[in-house]
Amino acid sequence: MMVIGIDLGTTNSAVGYVDGDEARIIPNDRGARLTPSVVAITEKGEILVGDSAKNQAVIHSERTLSHVKRRMGEAVHLRLGARRLLPEEVSSEILRKLKTDAETYLGTEVKKAVITVPANFGDAQRKATIEAGRLAGLEVLRILNEPTAAALSYAWRHPDAERLAVYDLGGGTFDVTCLQKNGTDYQVRSSCGENQLGGLDFDSLLREELLKHFESEYGFVALSDSLVLQQISEMVERAKIELSSRESAAIALPFMGTGGQPLHLSYEARRDRFDQLIEPMIERTFALTLQAIEESGFSKVDALVLAGGSSRIPLVHRRLGELLGLKPSGGVNPDEVVALGAALYGSMLAEGQRFNGSGRRRLRDVTSYTLGVEIDNGKVAHLVRRNTPLPVDARRIVTTVADMQESVEVHVLQGEGPDVQSNRSLGRFMLSGITPARRGAARIEVSFLIDEDGIVRVAAVDTKSGRREHVTVRPVKDEQQEDARAISHRLESLSLRIRSDIEELSVPHELLSDIRELLQYSDKVRASGEESALREAEIALESIIEELISIREDLEGSSREHA
Ligand code: AMP
């Protein structure tokens, strides 16, 4: 049974397989080892994925979707040309391409896969990933955490390393994981991270800096033209990558028209300034790294494994080395290590089926959340602590607080705090039909089951009557992660979409000036970073998008009528 391992990345994706005892990357149809996680649709309705989609992104931004991983698990329809797709439907196109490329390369049909996700992905995001696999014609044998995959890949080839720390900084997310290896047993000891921290944030910081420079130097703000903004974004990312091997990188935008003389804009990005800009974010990753090591109980780390493209930034290497007194391990390609680990895990699962479990390698991951239920007086009983090995089956008996009570409400909470206020509510459900009795006599068993994909099910059973209710809850990102930066990112992409729409649609005049005002306002709000204003601006821009969609639909309707 061939099982492929897929690293479905924010920026790029990779696919691996195991040949003998060795994991290898499968090149795509262009011979490249990474495939951009970009999906586009042509005028004729043909879907493009990867490099061909990325290459046309600047000129056809309205027909291109990238960074969809950041939206996984959200119930939103993303616009791809005239189509509206859920994030998992878009991701399924990427997976379908990876599957096809793997089949062509291996010369055999591929039906099963292990797909990786950030350790901090919640339930809804994991389910959306499984659904994306299903839509692509893949049976997803397991959802595996990315840093766990990276650790597995390293540990496989380095038998001496027993205690590993994986620092995984990609395009959109940061994760850190500590893994202990004991013979053929791989046990994750701790894991934490942030869902909205990565290379895209560094790009934004550098782009802001460049736009400020253009404004002060040329009195020119390029923000109003979406095509120029897209171009700038690409150049900024290229310059950022160059700064990992050089002290400075030039960005040039020749022939920028402002009505009069064409301007030749240029900017020299410098590594020392870039380091200053990203330092606060990098510091946050270090604080989480120290937290993960502390929670692992390791007295010492044997190997530090870097994963994710952004871990190549020299500041990260240098400071992380100083922080832990340990050089990052060599011989690891941070772009490939996750897909290789996923492939190895796929082969472990296949091997397990072949040998019926005897003497095989085992991998145990942990849950990233603390979950509990509300009990008396607004207090919380924690049933599952963060970093509990998966799968989890945690149970607790609760009871009634009034005589003859026939129903109880189960309030599911996420967080470490002792009372309801300091936790986050994930949902409530009623269990009714309880056998009436004195207060405190009923025995209701609440159970939390978390499977190896990290998906959570909560159930309550009245042990006397056998009545049972359950819910599937969605653990959410920690409060701090849904912060100003995340909303600011979404605002930025909403603004880009609106700018390209108003250029191409015939928007009524009055609406146009309102939209322009709103866009200017949202640019200001983005610069201020004020969270409640960001939320308001996001809602306002979303409603504009709705209006633009209906204008587009009207236009499409009338052009069909004319045809
Ligand atoms: P990943 O999500 O692992 O594919 O990482 C992609 C991110 O890594 C993108 O934001 C890239 O711009 C960034 N990246 C890739 N190579 C480098 C590099 N040499 N230096 C800095 N950032 C990089």
pTM of the model: 0.78
What was the pLDDT predicted at 160?
86
What was the pLDDT predicted at 272?
97
| Crossing angle of the two packed helices 484-504 and 509-528, in degrees rounded to 10 | 160
CB atoms within 10 A of CB 397: 10
Give the H or E element holding residue 492.
Answer: helix 484-504
Residue 25 has pLDDT above 80, yes or no: yes
Tokens 């459900």, residue located: 429
- From the CB of 36, is ligand 1 less than 6 Å away? no
What was the pLDDT predicted at 356?
41
- From the CB of 244, is ligand 1 less than 6 Å away? yes
- From the CB of 147, is ligand 1 less than 6 Å away? no
Q: Which of 140, 168, 170 is nearest to 455 (CA)?
A: 140
Residue nearest to atom 20 of ligand 1 (CA): 241
Does the structural domain 367-482 have CATH classification 2.60.34.10? yes
Give yes or no on whether 3-198+282-364 and 367-482 have one common fold. no
Overall average pLDDT of the 495-518 stretch: 79
Q: Judge contact between 147 and 308, C-beta under 8 A.
A: no
Residue 150 has pLDDT above 70, yes or no: yes
Output the CATH code of domain 199-276: 3.90.640.10
Pocket mutation for ligand 1, best pick of 10, 68, 310 (most atoms within 8 Å of C-beta): 310
Overall average pLDDT of the 127-146 stretch: 95
What does the domain layout of the chain look like in residue ranges? 3-198+282-364, 199-276, 367-482, 485-563
CA–centroid distance, 308 to ligand 1, in Å, is: 7
Query: 342 - beta bridge partners?
Result: none
438: its two tokens: 């004195």
Give the whole-angstrom CA distance, residue 322 versus residue 314: 12
Give the whole-angstrom CA distance, residue 125 versus residue 73: 4
Residue nearest to atom 7 of ligand 1 (CA): 171
Q: For residue 402, what are the CA distances in angstroms to 412, 432, 439, 513?
A: 21, 14, 5, 61
Show the 3-state SS of 273-341.
HHHHHHHHHHHHHHHHHHHHHHHHCCCCCCEEEEECHHHHCHHHHHHHHHHHCCCECCCCCCCCHHHHH
> pLDDT tens for residues 383-442?
999 899 999 999 999 888 888 888 888 888 888 888 888 887 777 888 888 888 898 888
The region of weakest confidence among 31-35, 39-43, 90-94, 488-492 is 488-492
CATH number of 3-198+282-364, picked from 3.40.50.620, 3.10.105.10, 3.30.420.40, 3.40.1360.10:
3.30.420.40
Strands of 86-158, DSSP E: 112-117, 139-145
- Which of the two residues, 453 and 336, has the higher pLDDT score? 336
Give the H or E element holding residue 425.
Answer: strand 424-432
Reduce the DSSP state of residue 199 to 3 states and report it. helix
What was the pLDDT predicted at 93?
97
Residue 375 has pLDDT above 90, yes or no: no
CA–centroid distance, 481 to ligand 1, in Å, is: 21
Tell which atom from ligand 1 comes closest to the C-alpha of 309: 8
CA–centroid distance, 211 to ligand 1, in Å, is: 22
Q: How many residues does the chain have?
A: 563
- From the CB of 87, is ligand 1 less than 6 Å away? no
- From the CB of 146, is ligand 1 less than 6 Å away? no
